[in-house]
Amino acid sequence: MNSTIKVGLIGYGFGGAVFHAPMICAVPGLELSVIYTSNEEKVRLTYPDVKVTTNLDEIWNNTDIDLIVISTPNSTHYELAKRALETGKHIVIDKPFVIDIAEGEKLIELARVKGKHLSVYQSRRWDSDFKTVRQLITEGTLGEIYTFEAHYDRFRPEVKERWKERNEPGSGTLYDLGSHLIDQALLLFGKPLTVTADCLSQREGSKVDDYFHVILGYGSCRVILHSSSLVRGRGPRFQIHGSKASFIKFGEDAQERQLLAGQRPGMPGWGEEDHSDYGEIITSDGEVNQRVPSEKGGYEQYYEQMYQSIVSDAPVPVKADQSLDVIRIIQLAEQSSKEGKTIKFI
């Protein structure tokens, strides 16, 4: 295979324009070759030399394209990925993977049969704050974890006319932001024993969940994942309490803000948090023992690993079966909230 991997990007909304295209272009060996979108003018502002098409056949039938990236509404992921695999392309699907477990299983099997790499873009594994948390837990700094709490709160009181807020399968905050938090929890702790959740619509006129509180049970450990669209003053992003120490972290990874401001990987300060956002380790006597410099974030590392998967058959950065467990937990959380009870993870 040629060492240059040509990429077709399907979808150029917020996700495609902000999180995918810049990362693809930042990785040596990847070439953004064609974008499927009806908004050619938007593409031309940043990528004047990239081909734009409104005909998917120009992507399916283009034998030069090795990798297809799908950044479209959640309900379209399965059909687009299935078609892409059938035409012999490697696949990256934006989170969430799919909205139907059986369809996800079919895609995984089809990728195996076709001998193609299939991965899900769970970019927030490469957030600066999460990388820091993962390092502290992995190295045992906090000891045995009793409580892990992660928040993804926003203040967005107005309901907007967009697919994520329409009453359709795969919409709502649990599928959107919950996908990130659940994936992070699975990466740290593995599959839970139980799922307990409260999901609801709080904003006037909201047709989908815009609040969730999910508790994953791991024996004596509880993993609490929370999001609300009506939070003006945000509290800690992470609160982790272990047998040796606690870790409290305010502030969020800077990469989304940097991307919106036009900053790109390799530029000064890319992926770096402000010192004021560094988390604190608190000892048993309640005193701050140490301020922990945050790891450097790097969404581009996802696509660096994806490139190596294609050219050297290295493991994909995010396995599809891991992302299928994210969907299982989302669906169990919905069931738990509806029935008002704790559900065993199967």
Residues in CB range of 338: below 8 A, 6 or more apart:
none
pLDDT in tens, 152-202: 999 999 988 877 878 888 889 999 999 999 999 999 999 999 999 999 999
Q: Contact at 8 Å (CB) between 330 and 338?
A: no
Position 154 in a domain:
yes
* pLDDT on residue 2: 57
Q: Of 104, 121, 138, which residue is a domain's last?
A: 121
Q: Of 121, 149, 170, which residue is a domain's last?
A: 121
The C-alpha atoms of residue 262 and residue 230 are separated, in whole angstroms, by 28
What's the total number of domains in the chain? Answer: 2
The C-alpha atoms of residue 27 and residue 305 are separated, in whole angstroms, by 10
Nearest CA to 152 out of 122, 174, 128, 121 is that of 174
* pLDDT on residue 181: 98
Note if the pTM is more than 0.85.
Answer: yes
Position 315 in a domain:
no
The CATH number of the domain where 335 resides is what?
3.30.360.10
Position 128 in a domain:
yes
Q: Contact at 8 Å (CB) between 238 and 133?
A: yes
* pLDDT on residue 169: 86
* pLDDT on residue 346: 76
Which domain does 186 fall in, by range? 124-297+329-344
Q: Are residues 90 and 108 in the same domain?
A: yes
Q: HSE, CB side, 13 Å, CA atoms: give it for residue 39.
A: 12
The CATH number of the domain where 85 resides is what?
3.40.50.720
Q: Are residues 276 and 133 in the same domain?
A: yes
Q: Which two tokens stand for residue 42?
A: 């938007």
Position 208 in a domain:
yes
Position 305 in a domain:
no
Decide the pairing of beta strands 238-242 and 246-249.
Answer: antiparallel
Q: Are residues 280 and 167 in the same domain?
A: yes
Q: Are residues 147 and 274 in the same domain?
A: yes
Q: Are residues 182 and 204 in the same domain?
A: yes
Q: Are residues 24 and 51 in the same domain?
A: yes
The C-alpha atoms of residue 325 and residue 110 are separated, in whole angstroms, by 18
Residues of the chain short of pLDDT 70, as ranges, are 1-2
Q: Are residues 138 and 232 in the same domain?
A: yes
Q: Of 83, 100, 121, which residue is a domain's last?
A: 121
The conformation of residue 73, written as its DSSP 8-state character, comes to -
Position 270 in a domain:
yes
